[in-house]
Amino acid sequence: MPVSVLIYEDNDALRRGVAELLSLSDEFVVSGSFPNCLNIASELADYKPDVVLMDIDMPGMTGIEALKVIRASDKKTAVIMMTVFDDNDNVLQAIRAGASGYLLKKNVSDKLVPAIHEVMDGGAPLSPAVAKKIVHSIHSNPSTDYQFTDREKEILGLLCKGLSYKMIATETGLAFETIRSYIKKIYEKLQVHSATEAVSKAMNERLI
């Protein structure tokens, strides 16, 4: 069954380009495409997408404000933020608000499809620049409140870098099912249900 996608982008040319790119593959179906997110709550209810592609800077309601509306009632739908810059506070604010990851607009043509695959596989696509900031925070603010083991801290750090379960397995040399088991324990300790929630909570509580 194809992945259902909603697109929110005020640049008409880019919005059409993203829709056309996704239409090239039978893996995806663009259920809706909008120049603003003023009706985000009703559109989400109507279309029930698997993935939302959300521009951060939009008139009327910003992508981050729309993301908060989504997360108020929906913790599961993957939301990938699209932005021009990856070195400003908006990206970190989006992650704290529950974004599944984000994508630089200049990389849409070659990284959009992998990013969607990533979030559908449980990962959180992030750029090297933001991942580096997050990893640096792990070392300067080691977590102790949740009594993580060293391996759990390592795996939480890899989650925060945006790696999927499969990539974490490759990085650590552990079996895929072993990684699933570790992440289940991390989720239980954090009392969350997804990689997005884990990354968001780790950032909000300065665990990383």
Domain boundaries, the chain: 3-120, 130-204
Residue 208's contacts (CB-CB under 8 Å, 6 or more residues apart) are: 134, 135, 137, 138, 141, 143, 156, 157, 160, 202
Segment 80-130, tens digit of pLDDT:
999 887 766 787 788 778 888 888 898 899 999 999 998 888 777 776 666
Closest CA to 18 of 4, 33, 31: 33
Check whether 195 has a pLDDT greater than 80.
Answer: no
Check whether 11 has a pLDDT greater than 80.
Answer: yes
To the nearest whole number, what is the mean pLDDT of the chain?
85
Other CB atoms within 10 Å distance of the CB of residue 68: 16
pTM above 0.85, yes or no: no
d(CA 138, CA 115): 24
164 touches 123 (CB < 8 A): yes
CATH 3.10.20.30 fits 130-204, yes or no: no
Segment 152-167, tens digit of pLDDT:
989 988 888 878 888 8
- CATH code of the domain made up of 3-120: 3.40.50.2300
Residue 76 pLDDT: 86
Strand 78-83 relative to strand 28-34: parallel, antiparallel, unpaired? Answer: unpaired
Q: Which amino acid is at 79?
A: V
Q: What are phi and psi of 180, to 5 degrees?
A: -55, -40
Q: What are phi and psi of 156, to 5 degrees?
A: -60, -40
Residue 100 pLDDT: 86
Residue 9 pLDDT: 96
Q: Which amino acid is at 56?
A: I
- Equal fold, 3-120 vs 130-204: no
109 touches 21 (CB < 8 A): yes
Rounded mean pLDDT, 128-134: 65
H-run or E-run covering 81: strand 78-83
